[in-house]
Structure 1
Amino acid sequence: MLEAKIYNPVKIVFGVGCVREVGKYTSRLGRKALIVTTSGGSMRKYGFLDIVSKSLEEHRVRCAIFDGVKTNPTTEIADEGTRVALRENVDVIIGLGGGSAIDVAKAIAVTAASGGSSKSYLYIYGGKPKEALPIIAIPTTHGTGSEVDRYAVLTDEEKKAKVSIVSDLIYPSVALLDPELTVTLPPRLTAATTVDALAHSLEAYVARYSNRMAQIYAVEAIKEIFENAVRAYTNGNDLNARAMLLWASMLAGLAINIGRTCLPHALEHPISAFLDVHHGEGLAALLPTWIKLGLKERIFNMLARELGLKDASELYEKVTSLLREMGMDVRLREHGLTEDMVDKLVDNAWTYLMPLIENNPYKVSRKDASKILLEAI
């Protein structure tokens, strides 16, 4: 008998040029916004920050900017942004950038309204937000799907625990998905963010917590990724391919919001907590062995057939072929991972990420996890 629990309050606006509507939507939520974005300068370089600021000005919304977000952001970065939000007395938070910027925006929305530090709201510490400022999410990558989910991933630098704030309060009020904002992504980042969306889709489909709605989202996302990933990788100006990958990333976000992630994310989070590696590249190194260990599982074969493939073995070949075509057949030794680090990474996963491990479709031992990590080196 089919059972499901589904909730998603995000207003999704998708289309070329829709970022210019940010002022209209923000003005319905507040009068002063904090734009949370990355520290690398790309949002200024490509004019995205100007577009957002101008739209806000046209709708009489004042703004402040926090541009201190880095890849794999820490709770300290989020708390720094919160201090800016409180000093500027803002009442809306806008996340402009990839998943890191949007996740930090969510954390700021919580701590600016509920008080305390972002660290206290990570699920491993049990803190529950009481309120949050409204959030508008504007993704500039096609990977995380954070614009439509209730997660904000941050790293507790002291414990090297990369985990989430999980709350219905941090669903964005509005998600503006403008494919033009993704055209400037370089090939390597195009590939890495796409792998993240692919992993979300694969994991959400097979996860123990999944249901039929999550699987519907996931299948559609995977199909679009298989069809458009290499096109966008080889020709970054292919706006249609970019649009479909952004669409797929959003669908994958909806999928993990229901089914959640499982083993690949449980093992990758420790990797990017300890090493300077992009989340998508870490996942790319882990996905093949994870799928291989599940070849006999009914759920992997069911997914393969829904994708028009013969069986899970063909799914494995399809995924590994795509990774090769995008230069994502990576080895983590390139990022500093060594065999003597494996036990520490497994310990980290078993300590902080057990909910993801238990959500895996097949039972996993520490030995299995070590095998996956060793094969990724």
Structure 2
Amino acid sequence: MWENSINVEQICEIRSKSIVYLGVGAISKINDIASNLKSRNITKIIAVTGKKAYRSTGAWNHVVKALEQSGIDYTIYDGVTPNPTTHQVDEATKMAIEFGARAVISIGGGSPIDAAKSVAILINYPENTAQELYEYSFTPTSAVPLIAINLTHGTGTEIDRFAVVSIPEKEFKPYIAYDFIYPEYSIDDPGLMLNLPEDQTLYVTIDALNHVIEACTSKAASPYSIMLAKETARLIAKYLPIVKENPKDLKARYFLTYASMIAGVSFDNGLLHFTHALEHPLSAIKPDLAHGLGLSLIVPAVVRQIYSASCQTLADVLSPIIPDLKGTTDESDKVFVDLRNWIEKMGITPGLKNAGYSEKDIEHLTNLAFDTPGLASLLSLAPVEASRTVVSDIYTRSL
């Protein structure tokens, strides 16, 4: 296969609306990025991150050295949790404004990067709050420069225009999408991901798979999003088992990182629908639920629900995982069982009940899917009608 000809230690520059540096050792590019910021008279930045990974991976040492060599002062907000909240964004924004930061560097997975995108906007809008941003109470038109140092191979947020932050008081987990929050530069260095725990490795990788399952079947799907979906699924099917067997395999981590990145491009173009719209309520009411785990628990029922409308596309895209699909409408139950079995084989126990949900939660979850700001737009992109009955059925079958 063509992957065998790739030198994973050669740092590639991949251009979209973001410039992504991909490769083992890509963290060294932070030196050039810091120099670029300084050349634009940006002398103060805020780093937005979680509690531990930014240090334990060694990424922070590179960032500090690069900033100091370029004469850029910095402060750090390290309070971002999985499923970040508006309160965390407001705290980080207050710190940034008081410090005088004119750019944001995020270090982490999807949660820190999404929080950082929000901070990058709100620095320019000090009179507004994160809750107002995520309830669409105002329409921003700018953000300060954002740099993303990605530490997981699943989110795709290092190369897209989306961000997700929860409003805990309302059990809302909305999203925003603006062209001006594409990171200017992103670093995808698989060398920083070698110590990613097995459960997180599974969750983030299946997050990437979910991105393309939705992006190739939405009403906005295109040949481009479908092509990227096919390659994402192939790479995940090939390299996830290898990483499970040997977490230190740099080549396998490299191609899972690449798969995640192109999955981000796929859904940046083809957009999302059921799985993400229905997962957001799950982790809104249980913030400790990992986003990727929530997706893993409901995607088989989603695929069952949409299979009749997208059977040929899904049979093709999922062929590395379920090789005997024919692409006929009578395979809905088969794809539900086979995809669920594959996810379980990878190491995730199926069933929302195992994550603490019950039949009593179905109505509330269904209401949140329709009431949370922004999720209606995702539901409208599903290839079948997103009625309350359909949404409730997906949750129920996922129990």
Matched to 1:267, the amino acid is L
Matched to 1:120, the amino acid is E
Quote the residue 1:3 is aligned against.
Answer: none
Is 1:355–2:377 an aligned residue pair? yes
Quote the residue 1:47 is aligned against.
Answer: 58
Q: Which moved more, 1:171-180 or 1:205-214?
A: 205-214
1:261-315: CA deviation from partner (whole Å, max 9, x where unpaired): 1001111100000012101111111011111122322x23223235554434476
Is 1:81–2:81 an aligned residue pair? no
Is 1:221–2:228 an aligned residue pair? no
Quote the residue 1:56 is aligned against.
Answer: 67
Secondary structure of residue in 1 paired with 2:47:
strand
Contact 1:26-1:136 within 8 A present in 2 as well: no
Partner of residue 31 from structure 2, selected from 23, 41, 66: 23
Instruction: Count residues in correspondence.
Output: 368
Matched to 1:289, the amino acid is A
Residue 197 of structure 1 and its aligned partner are, at CA, apart by 0.5
1:217-258: CA deviation from partner (whole Å, max 9, x where unpaired): 222111111111121122210111111111111111111111
1:163-199: CA deviation from partner (whole Å, max 9, x where unpaired): 1121111110011110111111011110001111000
Matched to 1:15, the amino acid is G
Is 1:185–2:219 an aligned residue pair? no
Contact 2:34-2:66 within 8 A present in 1 as well: no
Indicate how the Cα distance of structure 1 residues 370 and 20 shifts in structure 2: closer, same or farther if over 3 A, else same: same
Indicate how the Cα distance of structure 1 residues 315 and 10 shifts in structure 2: closer, same or farther if over 3 A, else same: farther
Quote the residue 2:285 is aligned against.
Answer: 274
C-alpha distance in 1 between matches for 2:70 and 2:353? 50
Is 1:252–2:272 an aligned residue pair? no
Matched to 1:21, the amino acid is K
C-alpha distance in 2 between matches for 1:204 and 1:103? 20
5 Å matches for 1:318-337?
A: 319-337=339-357
Partner of residue 134 from structure 1, selected from 123, 126, 145: 145
Residue 61 of structure 1 and its aligned partner are, at CA, apart by 2.4
Is 1:12–2:20 an aligned residue pair? yes
Residue 34 of structure 1 and its aligned partner are, at CA, apart by 1.2
C-alpha distance in 1 between matches for 2:53 and 2:21? 23
Secondary structure of residue in 1 paired with 2:174:
strand
Contact 2:273-2:378 within 8 A present in 1 as well: yes
Matched to 1:311, the amino acid is K
Partner of residue 33 from structure 1, selected from 45, 48, 62: 45
Secondary structure of residue in 1 paired with 2:79:
strand
Quote the residue 1:4 is aligned against.
Answer: none
C-alpha distance in 2 between matches for 1:111 and 1:306? 39
Partner of residue 326 from structure 2, selected from 299, 305, 311: 311
Quote the residue 1:202 is aligned against.
Answer: 213
Quote the residue 1:118 is aligned against.
Answer: 130
Secondary structure of residue in 1 paired with 2:386:
coil
Residue 82 of structure 1 and its aligned partner are, at CA, apart by 0.4
Residue 333 of structure 1 and its aligned partner are, at CA, apart by 2.1
Quote the residue 2:8 is aligned against.
Answer: none
Quote the residue 1:294 is aligned against.
Answer: 306
State TM-score, norm by structure 1: 0.93
**Structure 1: stretches of 5+ with no match in the other structure:** 1-6
C-alpha distance in 2 between matches for 1:24 and 1:262? 38
Quote the residue 2:254 is aligned against.
Answer: 243
Secondary structure of residue in 2 paired with 1:161:
coil
Partner of residue 144 from structure 1, selected from 155, 174, 182: 155
Quote the residue 1:364 is aligned against.
Answer: 386
Indicate how the Cα distance of structure 1 residues 131 and 272 shifts in structure 2: closer, same or farther if over 3 A, else same: same
Contact 1:224-1:244 within 8 A present in 2 as well: yes
Residue 318 of structure 1 and its aligned partner are, at CA, apart by 5.6
Residue 212 of structure 1 and its aligned partner are, at CA, apart by 1.8
C-alpha distance in 1 between matches for 2:251 and 2:157? 22
Is 1:211–2:231 an aligned residue pair? no
C-alpha distance in 2 between matches for 1:325 and 1:183? 22
Q: Which moved more, 1:25-34 or 1:179-188?
A: 25-34
Q: Which moved more, 1:18-27 or 1:249-258?
A: 18-27
Matched to 2:349, the amino acid is D
Indicate how the Cα distance of structure 1 residues 10 and 52 shifts in structure 2: closer, same or farther if over 3 A, else same: same
Is 1:103–2:125 an aligned residue pair? no
Matched to 1:357, the amino acid is L
Quote the residue 2:365 is aligned against.
Answer: 345
**Structure 2: stretches of 5+ with no match in the other structure:** 1-14
C-alpha distance in 2 between matches for 1:101 and 1:252? 19
Secondary structure of residue in 2 paired with 1:155:
coil
C-alpha distance in 2 between matches for 1:183 and 1:141? 10
Residue 346 of structure 1 and its aligned partner are, at CA, apart by 0.3
Percent same amino acid at aligned positions?
33
C-alpha distance in 2 between matches for 1:174 and 1:211? 26
Matched to 2:65, the amino acid is K
